[in-house]
Amino acid sequence: MIRRKKYKTVLFADISGSSALYKTKDNLEAKRIVDSLLDVLINVVEENKGKLIKTIGDEIMASFDNADNALIASVVMQQNNRFITQSELKLSIGIGFGEIIMDDGDIFGEAVNDAAHLTKLAKGGQILLVDSVMHQLSDEFHGMTREFDHIKMKGAQESSVIYRVYWQEGEAEERETQLMSSQVIDNVLRSYSIQIKYQSHTQRLTAAQTPFMIGRDAASCDLLVEGSQVSREHCEINFSRGKFVLIDHSTNGCYLSVLGKDEFYIRREEYPLIGHTCLSLGIPGAQAENDVIELFY
């Protein structure tokens, strides 16, 4: 029997690395490890007031009446890493929210499609949310999230904002995970914007204000730079996958130098802005004089 107009938060959790596990261990041992991890995920769903809908190979789908419970469950899943550490398995988690259709124990709808799509997009260890989930979360959980990308969800005509949950300290390090401290949250929020200094003017650019075009066309550019070597739309600053990037569109390319390192050249490619960067359009920085642009956090 089909029942309509149920609004749920939907969570997908996918185990990555299981194929490699079967190549490095005995089949029975590999299956035991994967099944143990699936049991852990299912228990976490139940302990956080969720409902297991089904398992799909190495993946589970669950629904929650409360988005906070879904987020807590996703973090606890990632934190329960005793099996992950042992076997080098990782979890990719996607969470969606919206109206669902319930049919014979299964569920269907946009929230299901969104959660499944984000799970495929997420790398191992990541938790991704759609914007509609953010609107359902209590304020106390917003500090754990950060805008991650603008993408077209499956079947959508327009791009949507997706968010990443920062659930651990020192994500690049191999150590025991824990919920973010307030200091880490503050650092994340500070890196949510970048400053642009050109001549005597400095402005702060947020992810919501991207793409930010630089060039000599007053009609299309946000920052005007004159010069015969400068293209009409020379380059842009965009925000993608949790970071600001510089994308060159020009004929003569861009010269960049990160403080303490040698200058380098890019043309028709992109570069992630991860430090205090000096940017010169079309000519080396030493020749640009007052037209060098500084980009810093």
Quote the DSSP letter at residue 87: H
In sequence order, what are the residues at sequence separation of 6 or more whose Cβ sits closer than 8 angstroms to the Cβ of residue 109?
Answer: 98, 99, 100, 101
Q: Using alpha carbons, select from 74, 49, 48 the residue that is nearest to residue 60.
A: 74
Q: What is the CATH number of domain 2-189?
A: 3.30.70.1230
Q: How far is CA 81 from the centre of its chain?
A: 21
pLDDT of the residue at 16: 83
pLDDT of the residue at 212: 96
The first and second tokens of residue 67, run together, are 């988005």
Q: Using alpha carbons, select from 187, 220, 192, 218 the residue that is nearest to residue 204.
A: 192
How far apart are the C-alpha atoms of 149 and 36, rounded to whole Å?
Answer: 33
2-189 and 193-296, same CATH topology? no
The first and second tokens of residue 33, run together, are 């490890």
Whether pTM > 0.85 for this model: the answer is: no
Q: Using alpha carbons, list the distances in angstroms from residue 41 to 4, 35, 38, 97, 119.
A: 27, 10, 5, 20, 15
pLDDT of the residue at 2: 53
Angle at 39 between CA 38 and CA 43, to 5 degrees: 115
Domain edges within the chain: 2-189, 193-296
Q: Assess whether pLDDT exceeds 70 at residue 187.
A: no
Q: Which fold has domain 193-296?
A: Tumour Suppressor Smad4 (2.60.200)
Lowest mean pLDDT among 24-28, 261-265, 267-271: 24-28
The mean pLDDT of 2-15, rounded to a whole number, is 84
